[in-house]
Structure 1
Amino acid sequence: MTPKKSVLTAAMVGAFVLGATACGSGSGHFDGKAPEEIAEEARDAMATLESVTISSDLESQGQEIAMQASIAADGSCEGSVTAEAMEAEFVSIDGTEYLKADEEFWQGEGLEASDVGGKWVQVPEGEMSLTGQFCDLEQILGEMSESEIEPDDWESVDGETIDGTETVGIRNTQNQDAGTTDLFVADSEDAYVLRSVRTGDIEGTVEFSDFNADFDISAPADAVDLTELG
């Protein structure tokens, strides 16, 4: 699972190594503001979230990854991930992690697929990295809040209307050899990033929604305890 982690981390967190350049375009809240001001507001808004849903469709080195996760600051989380031939759902609540995956996934973990394939499985803490990499909102947002503002790393791009919300666009050009990142920031005082689009070594889109939503996440019923399997 390590390659999946590096791709997703770069797409969801690496985009927030924020910088700045010339004057930005847009209307409303960000009218007349420079890209560094937009970047700073977006960073600060995202870093203080108590919950968010992240959805991504990414490709790196021929590997395609699709992920969706609703994450809360208290550690509760639920979502799904598809990578290559692997599909899995995951839930984390009250420090306990659960996975539901197909037989091929569990065979790769050295388990008898008939015991766990297609079933919810309660896994010991630290046994699987899947929920750990997707559900740690404090780590994700902490890296965002620590992002440094550097000069000459950003430029304005056209905004988009995303689910009825007007956005302004800014492009990170800090390392164009590896690619660029476009952030589409809600043109309002909230200044949340609604979409991140990557090109280059990692390509694809990450969507952010359900900002500070009250997620109703519960433990799956009748989960198999992994420690009780032979």
Structure 2
Amino acid sequence: MKKSILAATAVLATAAGLAGCSNGGSGTEGSATKLQESSAQEITDKAAEATKALDSVRMAGQIYSEGERLQLDMALAKDGKCTGTISMGEGTAEVLNNGTASYMKGDEAFWQAQSKGEAEAGTFVEMLKGRWVKMGGEQGADAGFDSFCDLDKLLADMDSDTSTKATKGELTEIDGRQAIPLVEEDGKETTTVYVANDDAEPYLLRMENEGSDEPGVMDLTDHNKPVKITEPPASEVLDLAELGAQ
């Protein structure tokens, strides 16, 4: 399971940091903006600064890692809270962090995929399927899972001073908002980020990657929208720490 969680974490980090940007709130659709007149580097710098100031964001999309499709739909906040779903292969899991502990609730197909090759896979799946598994808090959570829900960490590597080789494309539209494409090519790999054409909120609206070992698309929305957490019922929670597992 740890391998898949770390892969998902890498996806989010890439989406957040590739061009130092992130989508967002109200915007100023239809108003005059000078952002589109800026250079690719200037747009990257402004987007990085805006993103670092975010308190929350929703990331949704898919990526192919080692031939497997990984789908994400996560709302994350800087206070450590997160909630959403992860789908890998035929399996799906709900995940959440209430700020102090992390939980995951996977279906049977999800746990079967995670336990493939283990000696007691059947017992493992029966024990975990349909239950909230507590993985975080003071008991020492899976480091990858904690990072997966840590928006601060995902944005920490963003640097507005970092130069970019991206070129600016023609204005387009993403989900009804004007967007400026920034395209960077590296051999067969092409990465495109779409920045909202908004001087006040130059957030990233979408990131696309083609030609790499992990191609995919990631949309960023709901910037600064509060992340609401519904605590799992205690009767449905299985604490791995109490079982001597991590």
TM-score, with structure 2 as normaliser? 0.78
Indicate how the Cα distance of structure 1 residues 37 and 184 shifts in structure 2: closer, same or farther if over 3 A, else same: same
- Matched-pair contact (CA < 8 Å) for 1:198–1:204: yes
Q: Which amino acid aligns with 2:148?
A: F
Q: Structure 2: which 5+ residue stretches go unaligned?
A: 22-31
d(CA) in 1 for partners of 2:13 and 2:153?
Answer: 13
Q: 2:63 aligns with which of 44, 58, 74?
A: 58
Q: Is residue 2:18 matched to residue 1:15?
A: yes
Paired with 1:66 and 1:149, the residues of 2 have a C-alpha distance of: 29
Query: Structure 1 residue 72 and structure 2 residue 77: aligned?
Result: yes
Match of 1:157 in 2: 169
Distance in 2 of aligned mates of 1:47 and 1:69 = 18
Structure 2 counterpart of 1:199, one-letter code: E
Gaps of 5+ in 1: 19-26
Matched, 1:179 2:189: yes
Residue 103 of structure 1 corresponds to 108
Give how far 1:43 is off. Answer: 1.1
Q: Could you tell me which amino acid in structure 1 is paired with residue 74 of structure 2?
A: A
Q: Which residue number in structure 2 is paired with residue 225 of structure 1?
A: 239
1:162-190 CA-partner distances (Å, limit 9, x unpaired): 222111111123xx126121111111121
- Give distance in 1, aligned partners of 2:210 and 2:47: 20
Task: Confirm or deny: 8 A CA contact 1:52 1:72 kept in the other structure.
Answer: yes
Identity of aligned residues (%): 27
- Say which of 178, 187, 205 aligns to 1:166: 178
The Cα offsets for residues 98-148 of structure 1, whole Å up to 9 and x where unpaired, read as 11012344451755333321121222444435632321111111112x354
* CA–CA distance in structure 1, aligned partners of residues 184 and 100 of structure 2: 36
Residue 97 (structure 2) aligns with: 92
Q: Structure 1 residues 79 and 6 mapped into 2: Cα distance closer, same or farther (>3 Å)?
A: closer
The residue type equivalent to 1:73 in the other structure is: K
Give 1:142's match in structure 2, choosing from 153, 156, 171: 156
In 2 relative to 1, CA 96–47 (structure 1 residues): closer, same or farther, beyond 3 Å?
A: same
**CA RMSD across the alignment:** 2.5
Query: Does 104-113 or 55-64 show the bigger shift?
Result: 104-113
Q: In structure 1, what is the Cα distance between the partners aligned to 2:99 and 2:141?
A: 16
Corresponding residue for 2:126?
A: 114
Per-residue CA deviations over 1:36-86 (Å, capped at 9, x if unaligned) read 111111111111111000112111342211111100110000111112244
What stretches of structure 1 move > 4 A for 4+ residues in a row? none
Choose the corresponding residue for 2:87, options 72, 78, 82.
82
Query: Which region of structure 1 is more displaced relative to structure 2, 7-16 or 113-122?
Result: 7-16
Corresponding residue number in structure 2 for 1:24: none
Task: Tell me the SS of whatever aligns to 1:39.
Answer: helix
Q: 1:214 to 1:6 in 2, by over 3 A?
A: closer
When the two structures are aligned, how many residues end up with a matched partner? Answer: 218
SS in 2 for 1:112: helix
200, 203, 214: which one aligns with 2:211 = 200
Q: What one-letter code is carried by the residue in structure 2 that aligns with 1:149?
A: T
Matched with 2:221 is: 209
1:19-38 superposed Cα distances (whole Å, 9 cap, x missing partner): xxxxxxxx733132111111
| Contact 2:184–2:192, Cα closer than 8 Å, also in 1 | yes
